[in-house]
């Protein structure tokens, strides 16, 4: 799997990333299933009084966490190739994967429009305002900027305004992805 991550060719980064994500998630789920007992199985105790299946479950959680970390590292490696590049095209990709989301020109982690580029729609305008706020402060985890983005997304959702032409994402899914990212950022 690490070779897959390190050998991403320019023409196939998305395919390699998808393969890496699939492998990481498959490994995570396999380890989780192996560690967590099936419903109805009795807990057995060891001489120290701790339930064997509890320790197995904890091992599964740790393995899942490690595989999740590898998965996130793959995402960051892939996205880091895009640093320094800005968007001039309205995109709608990875709508239901918050860390990979690319919506409009401004919505997404390490994804932003070029200076002077107009947002694609109202939701993209919320992300542009957030990018500007973060850029001015220089802190991706700024709670004020993130809170303002959440309020803007909620106001956009309530407005019922449309989306940009050519969008292939379900707007509710994009909104939920943005909300999920901001909730994750709150806990960092």
Q: Are 124 and 88 in contact (CB under 8 A)?
A: no
Within the chain, residue ranges assigned H as helices are 2-6, 13-35, 52-80, 122-137, 143-159, 171-186
CB-count burial class (<10 Å; 0-12, 13-18, 19+) for 116: exposed
Burial 9-41 (b: 16+ CB within 10 A, else e): eeeeeeebbebbbebbeebbeebbeebbeeeee
Q: Which of 41, 130, 147, 187 is catalytic?
A: 130
130 is an active site residue: yes
> 104 - beta bridge partners?
91
- Maximum CA pair distance of the chain? 68
Residue positions annotated with a catalytic role:
130
């Amino acid at each position: 799997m690490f070779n897959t991550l390190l050998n991403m060719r320019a023409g196939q980064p998305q395919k390699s990333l998808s393969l890496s994500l699939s492998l990481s998630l498959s490994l995570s789920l396999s380890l989780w299933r192996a560690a967590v007992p099936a419903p109805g199985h009795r807990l057995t105790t060891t001489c120290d009084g701790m339930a064997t299946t509890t320790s197995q479950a904890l091992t599964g959680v740790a393995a899942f966490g490690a595989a999740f970390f590898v998965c996130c590292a793959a995402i960051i490696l892939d996205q880091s190739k895009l640093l320094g590049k800005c968007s001039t095209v309205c995109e709608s990709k990875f709508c239901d994967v918050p860390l990979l989301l690319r919506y409009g020109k401004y919505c997404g982690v390490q994804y932003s429009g070029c200076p002077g580029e107009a947002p694609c729609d109202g939701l993209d305008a919320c992300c542009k305002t957030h990018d500007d706020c973060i850029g001015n402060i220089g802190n991706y985890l700024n709670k004020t900027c993130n809170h303002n983005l959440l309020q803007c997304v909620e106001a956009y959702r309530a407005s019922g305004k449309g989306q940009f032409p050519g969008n292939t994402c379900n707007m509710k899914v994009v909104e939920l992805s943005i909300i999920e990212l901001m909730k994750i950022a709150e806990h960092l």
